[in-house]
Amino acid sequence: MKGIPGQTAASLFVLIMLTAVSLPAASQLLSAKEIVTKADEKFNGEKSGFSVMSMTIVRPTWQRTVEFKSWSLGDDYALTLITAPAREKGQTFLKRLTEMWSWNPAISRLIKLPPSMMSQGWMGSDYTNDDILRESSVVNDYDHSLEGEEVVDGRLCHKIRLTAREDAGVLWSHQMWWVDRKDFIVLKAELYDEDGYLVRTERGMDLKTMDGRLIPTTIELVPAEQEGHKTILKITEIRFNISVEESFFSQQNMRTIR
């Protein structure tokens, strides 16, 4: 997610509870940017990663679930494979540096995604193509400032404002993150448009240790002005710092990966 995945990434977050936990002294010494970097790396992996997820899209009169696998190498390379439902199985999405493509096996068609499509919903969900393909970087495309502390899910959190840099081609004018001071988990995030209006809120739940890291395994994204709309992301498997080469992220592999 940022980004969840994307947004996407990256992206990760939880309902407000009552009591606070003890504060580790090391966290006090970090800058806002260092805290955001540690939180981003904890979920996305410092070098590379692999995940298996399901995404349930909820609307007032219907809902559907999409299942997929994703591979990533830093912020520059990502490959996502749809594994269910049957009618969309085999579709893939590729990012290499600043270029992105989609492959649809049903019509044997490769489509290059222009930057204008990064704000569009991915697979009909409330996540954007930018969230899934991680075109933007929460570390490099934003300035960061500490805005105080608040308790989220019984954990004392840094409240951090991420303000988009003028030269960054990002979707959000700013974001607010609540990052657990003990484990550097993003427990809540709010994303705002260029006019300063809240667009969506992301919350995480079901904290579990996966591949040696405590992370939220359920992420709920709720649009601010669309009643009855939400997208729920569930992580069933995740591995960090896997062995994967740049050559893995190719148009040829888009057509053959399973």
pLDDT digits (tens, 9 = 90+) for 43-75: 776 689 999 999 999 999 999 999 999 999 987
Cis check: omega of the bond before 105, within 30 degrees of 0: no
Average confidence (pLDDT) over 151-159? 94
List C-alpha distances in Å: 117 to 62, 125, 135, 177, 206. Answer: 25, 14, 11, 25, 32
- On the question of pLDDT at 8 being above 60, the answer is no
Flag the least confident range among 1-15, 111-125, 149-163, 240-254.
1-15
Position 79 confidence tier, pLDDT thresholds 50, 70, 90: very high
Signed CA dihedral, 92, 76, 117, 53: sign only: positive
**What burial class does residue 217 get, using C-beta atoms within 10 Å of its C-beta: 0-12 exposed, 13-18 middle, 19+ buried?**
buried
Question: Which pLDDT tens digit goes with each residue over 189-227?
Answer: 999 999 999 999 999 889 999 999 999 999 999 999 899
Q: What is the DSSP letter of 46?
A: S
Predicted pLDDT at 137: 83
Percent of the chain with pLDDT over 70: 87
Distance CA(51)–CA(63), nearest Å, equals: 23
User: Is the distance from CB of 177 to CB of 162 less than 8 angstroms?
Assistant: yes
Distance CA(62)–CA(75), nearest Å, equals: 34
Predicted pLDDT at 134: 64
Distance CA(6)–CA(100), nearest Å, equals: 13
Q: Which of residues 4 and 157 earns the better pLDDT score?
A: 157
Q: Which of 64, 68, 73 is nearest to 92 (CA)?
A: 68
List C-alpha distances in Å: 127 to 109, 181, 241. Answer: 23, 27, 24
Q: Following DSSP, what letter does each residue of 203-230 receive, concatenated? A: EEEEEEEETTEEEEEEEEEEESS-TT-E
Signed CA dihedral, 54, 138, 238, 80: sign only: positive
Average confidence (pLDDT) over 171-176? 94
Q: Which of residues 98 and 73 earns the better pLDDT score?
A: 73
pTM for this structure? Answer: 0.81
Predicted pLDDT at 81: 97
The fold adopted by the segment(s) 25-256 is: outer membrane lipoprotein receptor (LolB), chain A (2.50.20)
User: Is the distance from CB of 228 to CB of 62 less than 8 angstroms?
Assistant: no
Residues forming a β-bridge with 158: 149, 179
Average confidence (pLDDT) over 6-24? 31
